[in-house]
Amino acid sequence: MSLSDDEIRQLDAILDHYPDRRAAAGTAMRLLQARRRWLSDEAMADLGEYLGLTVAELDGLATFGNMAFRKPVGRHVVLICDSFACWSLGYAELRAAVEAELGVGMGQTTPDGRFTLLPIVCLGACDRGPAMMVDDELHGPVAPDDVAGILEAYA
């Protein structure tokens, strides 16, 4: 098992939030992803062993959710809202500006491993559309000219 002592300590701490081990699976995946950025096959196997679940059961959850990363991602994840309020307020222009700045398209990672660009549904920030997130930070409204300045801050 490749879970570190520190990871096991953190996982143990969330077990008391739930009446059984299985119910902690979603939170456990989130926790491990937050530490390792993505969930490798090995990580899923270790987590399955730790929780007493099969990898298939865990993958049933991971593939249902839209933000369990089963492939490597860059150091920063950029999410651009593509739902209807942002769409009407300049999603297409924002997306084009981000793609031009990063030199990659949706679903891709920059060659230096710094950014992964992904679509996201409404961020609950329609009043600030067009909106995007970089890691845990919400930005909006973002004009195409703002994009370079915003991304610069993420090394």
User: Which positions touch other proteins (CB under 8 A)?
Assistant: 17, 19-20, 22-27, 29-30, 60-71, 73, 79, 82-85, 87-89, 91-92, 95, 105-107, 118-129, 133, 136-138
Query: Please, which of residues 40-99 interact with ligand FES by CB under 6 A?
Result: 81, 83-86
Which of ligand FES, other proteins, none interacts with 112 (beta carbon under 5 to 8 A by kind)? none
Instruction: Give the residues across from 76 on adjacent strands.
Output: 115
Residue 29 interacts, among other proteins, ligand FES, none and using kind-specific CB cut-offs from 5 to 8 Å, with other proteins
d(CA 121, CA 1): 36
Residue whose CB is less far from other proteins, 3 or 31: 31
Which residues lie below 8 Å from residue 118, measured CB to CB, with a gap of 6+? Answer: 77, 78, 79, 80, 106, 107
5: number of Cβ within 10 Å: 7
By CB under 6 A, tell whether 123 contacts ligand FES: yes
**Residue number, 58 or 142, with CB nearest to ligand FES:** 142
What is the sign, positive or negative, of the torsion defined by CA atoms of 54, 60, 61, 63? positive
